[in-house]
Structure 1
Amino acid sequence: MRRTADSPEAGPPVSPWWQDAVFYQVYVRSFADSDGDGVGDLEGIRSRLGYLELLGVDALWLTPFFRSPMADHGYDVADPRDVDPLFGDLAAFDRLVADTHNHGMKITIDLVPNHTSDQHPWFQDALRAGPGSRERERYHFRDGLGPDGSTPPNNWTSVFGGPAWTRVRDGQWYLHLFAPQQPDLNWEHSDVRADLVQTLRFWLDRGVDGFRIDVAHGMAKPAGLPDMDPAAVAVMAGSQPPDFIDMRFDNDEVHDIHRLIRKVLDGYPGTMAVGEIWVDQEDRFAAYVRPDELHLGFNFKLVEAEFDADSVRRAIDRSLAAVESTGSPATWTLSNHDVVRHVTRYGGGELGTRRARAMALVELALPGTTYIYNGEELGLPNVDLPDWALQDPTWERSGHTQRGRDGCRVPLPWEGEIPSYGFSRAGAAWLPMPPQWGTLTVEKQLEDPESMLSLYRHALEIRKTAQGFGGDELEWYGAPPGCFAFRRKGGGLICALNTSAASVPLPPGEILLSSGPMDGNQLPPETSVWLV
């Protein structure tokens, strides 16, 4: 077992516990349902902690479980210091924290500081108080343009589609970069900052080990809220070309907020924060993980990379370069609750599964911190849901032109042959589960040494126990077109990936693990391998 910065053993610390941890993202609604209402909950998670320990992960990240009207499945928070009854209560959360720690894992939770729910008491107070009030100053209320104020204050768009402004009865407009039910907070207001500190301390005092900061590149807004370039208005944050300046996000003043968060965390040794940072340029990204800001930053380059050796290598090089001067480890992920699952992105079916297996070994071979999204260890694909089942606000906000993110959020299959596969006692889950998932259940895959789940378990065990995973730098080998191989400098592990159409010679070394069958002493297409 590695000794970490908060371990009790004598001697100098080796590294913080998160330095090379494998986190498991629990999408709370979709993990496990304990009470039979078809929606996952905190007791459901607690009932499956043995599975997560068996899988071999080091820490959990829970998506929002706070009081919420659920307009955006919990990311519209009405009370950030309480549990929504849909998921349990504070006593259930305390039990989950204690049991997670007893299973040898850390627990981190989402923090949503960019906006609140429109049902939050502050926003309801703002509606009642009217224009010019202190209550409205906690948000971004503005008069509209034109003779009658009927035009929004600027041309900003919502990430979920449509304008980023909604008009209230007295004629003013309020800003929401996401759904209208998610009004953006004004971070220049002292109440907003004080409330965040209170929220951080509330959960830290209950034993959480850290936070994932939602929209960590948001919060701060440019003075005067000027118009965006009309020719470059983006629908989704992060989708714009690299040379496009999206003034909705990544404003310099956001770093003062992260310094505030870090100051609180420094008072709780052994705790950490990771930011959701959709920022393309390496120097802009690096600013978020300076020594007095976030401990980690989500870099989404691997998510954006095609299944192509050159594309993946560029993503790796850029991700490492972004943190090279900061002292922060790189952070890797292939999927999350906001993007198409990578089995589907890589082509779906058997092809997508082979490629997903290959990329799992690439990701887990890299230096730094890894985030696994629940269900990827089962090889779950995106689900093509019927229109009637769609709940993501993007579906309505886009006028039914974008199907949203529900397809990657379908609940996990645990056991049995028919939906809901042990996810719930209910006959149906909150999103419909495909009838063909009986072969993908945890139960089936635990019995199959060749399954995706067995591959993940084996890879995580090797990652923890083998000596080759040391060092923070990579050395690249020469490789045929469509392939790459790198070695962990300081450790010695070699990882090779073949995305070409033909088998290629293996680098020298003894095979530790491969994502699929070998072709004699050659690496087949759509396959990766670890060697020492």
Structure 2
Amino acid sequence: MSVETVTQDTLACAGHLTLIHAADTAPGWWRSAVIYQVYPRSFRDLNGDGIGDLAGITQELPHLADLGVDAVWLSPFYRSPQRDAGYDVSDYCDVDPVFGTLADFDGMMAESHRLGLRVIVDLVPNHCSDQHPAFQAAIAAPAGSPERDMFIFRDGTGHDGQEPPNNWQSHFGGPAWTRVAGTDGQPGQWYLHLFDSSQPDFNWDNPAVHAEFERVLRFWLDRGVSGFRVDVAHALVKAPGLPAWGGRADGGSSDGYPGHEAPMFGQPAVHDIYRTWRLILDEYGPDRILCAEASVDLHRLAHWVRPDEMHQAFNFPYLHAGLDVYRLRSVITDSLTVLDGVGAPSTWVLSNHDVVRHASRFGYNGLGPRDGDGIGPADHQPDHDLGRRRAAAASMFMLGLPGAAYLYQGEELGLPDGIDIPDHLRQDPTFARTGGQRLGRDGCRVPLPWRGGDPHLGFGSGSDPWLPIPASFKALARDLQAESPASHLSLYRDALAFRRELDLGRGSLSWAEDWCTGYSLGYMNGTTLVVMNLNHEPLEMPAGHVLIRSLPAGAGRALASGETAWIQLGPDAAAAL
């Protein structure tokens, strides 16, 4: 069959099309890249201490190149007391000994470049560790000193300043303020921490903070990184006067408190910071990028990716859309439309280190865990087979979309969350700060299974892993899945291969209206039709030239004319024609 015939047949079976997004011709590798998130402590432990390390990442990079991704994003590996898994940084220009050395980092960079993989590193500019030398100097200095002005210190309210300066709450539970002793040893000022008390917020009204982070950017750019994922990129600047806020701690909208009014998020002056950073990256060439972790609505998100600011921003509305076909269609349409308006690509993501893995989330037909919480042994449990089946379909559907895609380590294996984690082993500060009422995010951070027959499933050969690896992960080990053409891993490889061969990341998107129903969703990207069926019944569709499907096809039949073959797309499955 000729390409022209395939195209005509595919267009015919797509039916009525509604164009949303034209093909992307702008330069930039990042506009269509697939970027793989490595959570270092859970990726691969080479020195046997039970915690993953940079040497382990280096050893396994060939597997990521073989998978077919374009770049690797490393979660924090800097020096840190590890109170919040490295997001409490004590030295931004060194590697924490638990992960290795700067020489190990340079070796990892050399191997990644040999394999054709770019490396993006996490940057945490909103806060640091309370063990950072700058904060230690601040608490040793008097109120009003230059040292304290690096952070947000305020006098308390009420009798003798015994109450916090305002009513802001921490993301991890409890107040967002902690009191320190004055130079006379008596209770003194309070400092702001939007996250854990061990993570004081920087004062971005101070030019010295700007200068310090510009130094940090250049340090890692000089070592060859391709860019930065910027943690809580919407939070750096706070509203003047730090006004009270009665809404959600994370700035999400609630009754009477729209998210755009949250005084600790999305302040206009934050964009000046990223314009300056963009100029610094541009000095190093057009291939260095900034990606914002900015939890704001799509229309406001466009402000972060204007031509002189960041290159990408995480698409949290897509991550949280679940498998509601109406919500998915709306989010995809809005994402492409709004971001096209500023010349930026959309990004797509289904899992990361802060949410329950989508192989578990999608295993619920009703109410599942809320954002930021895990699943414990006493909770309502997901249907794991259903979750993996839906996860495969959703992943394949996502990888056909135009734009960039982010994958979280282990999702290519269909890993669920770790559920049976004893309380004494939990490390997410959310668990401690809420007295165990919220389990936190440890379940999605369980170490990876590499080889089913090895100790600790190949994660490491020495000490027990820092979080227990479920026994069920043995059947999902990478080496076992690599041998099966029907495995979750093989599906990801195939989906990434056809995405690359057909340049779908640069493609267009039109809704295939005949395949958009209350239980299915279909779109055309160029000449490729992608359909996801979330019904309980099979969906009968023309076979066309089948590129990939998330489940084996059901029994087919021919029309009376004998000209067109049909396949049954099973429940909770996706196919690309």
Q: TM-score range by the shorter chain?
A: over 0.9
Q: Which ranges of structure 2 fall in alignment gaps of 5 or more residues? A: 1-24, 183-187, 364-381, 557-566
Say which of 267, 279, 298 aligns to 1:251.
267
TM-score (norm 1): 0.94
1:530 aligns with 2:576: yes
Taking the aligned partners of 2:114 and 2:334, their CA distance within structure 1 comes to: 37
Letter in 2 for 1:301: P
Say which of 234, 240, 264 aligns to 1:223.
240
- 1:71 Cα shift? 0.6
Letter in 2 for 1:486: Y
Partner of 1:183: 200
- 1:235 Cα shift? 4.1
Taking the aligned partners of 1:297 and 1:240, their CA distance within structure 2 comes to: 23
1:35 aligns with 2:47: yes
Partner of 1:410: 446
C-alpha change, 1:238 and 1:336, in structure 2 (3 Å) is farther
Taking the aligned partners of 2:290 and 2:508, their CA distance within structure 1 comes to: 20
Taking the aligned partners of 1:459 and 1:252, their CA distance within structure 2 comes to: 40
State the SS of the aligned residue for 2:58: helix
Say which of 278, 281, 290 aligns to 1:265.
281
Contact 1:478–1:484 at 8 Å: present in 2 too?
Answer: no
Write the mapping of 1:152-167 to structure 2, written as runs, cut at 5 A.
152-167=164-179
1:317 aligns with 2:333: yes
Taking the aligned partners of 2:410 and 2:524, their CA distance within structure 1 comes to: 29
Partner of 1:48: 60
- 1:507 Cα shift? 5.3
Letter in 2 for 1:402: R
Q: Which has the larger radius of gyration?
A: 2
1:378 aligns with 2:390: no
C-alpha change, 1:239 and 1:33, in structure 2 (3 Å) is farther
**Greater displacement, 114-123 / 315-324:** 315-324
**Greater displacement, 194-203 / 516-525:** 516-525
Contact 1:418–1:438 at 8 Å: present in 2 too?
Answer: no
Taking the aligned partners of 2:479 and 2:91, their CA distance within structure 1 comes to: 37
Q: Deviations over 1:65-119 (max 9, x none)?
A: 0011111011000010111111111111111111101001101100000011101
Say which of 205, 208, 230 aligns to 2:225.
208
Partner of 1:139: 151
Cα RMSD (Å) of the superposition? 1.6
Contact 2:77–2:86 at 8 Å: present in 1 too?
Answer: yes
Partner of 1:5: none
Contact 1:419–1:435 at 8 Å: present in 2 too?
Answer: no
Taking the aligned partners of 1:278 and 1:328, their CA distance within structure 2 comes to: 17
- 1:237 Cα shift? 4.6
1:284 aligns with 2:300: yes
- 1:476 Cα shift? 3.4
Aligned residue pairs: how many? Answer: 513
Partner of 1:8: none
Contact 1:470–1:492 at 8 Å: present in 2 too?
Answer: no
Partner of 1:481: 518
Q: Deviations over 1:172-207 (max 9, x none)?
A: 000000001100000011110001110000000011
Taking the aligned partners of 1:105 and 1:53, their CA distance within structure 2 comes to: 7
Write the mapping of 1:109-508 to structure 2, written as runs, cut at 5 A.
109-170=121-182, 171-229=188-246, 232=247, 234-238=248-252, 240=254, 243-244=258-259, 245-269=261-285, 270-280=287-297, 282-347=298-363, 348=382, 349-384=384-419, 385-417=421-453, 420-466=456-502, 470-479=506-515, 480-488=517-525, 491-506=526-541
**Structure 1 vs Structure 2: percent identity of aligned residues?**
48
C-alpha change, 1:67 and 1:358, in structure 2 (3 Å) is same
Taking the aligned partners of 2:512 and 2:269, their CA distance within structure 1 comes to: 38
Q: Deviations over 1:22-53 (max 9, x none)?
A: 00000000001111101001110000011111
State the SS of the aligned residue for 2:486: coil
Q: Deviations over 1:387-410 (max 9, x none)?
A: 111100000111211000000000
State the SS of the aligned residue for 1:18: helix
Partner of 1:9: none
Partner of 2:27: 15
Letter in 2 for 1:308: D
**Greater displacement, 243-252 / 325-334:** 243-252
Q: Which ranges of structure 1 fall in alignment gaps of 5 or more residues? A: 1-12
- 1:522 Cα shift? 2.4
**Greater displacement, 74-83 / 459-468:** 459-468
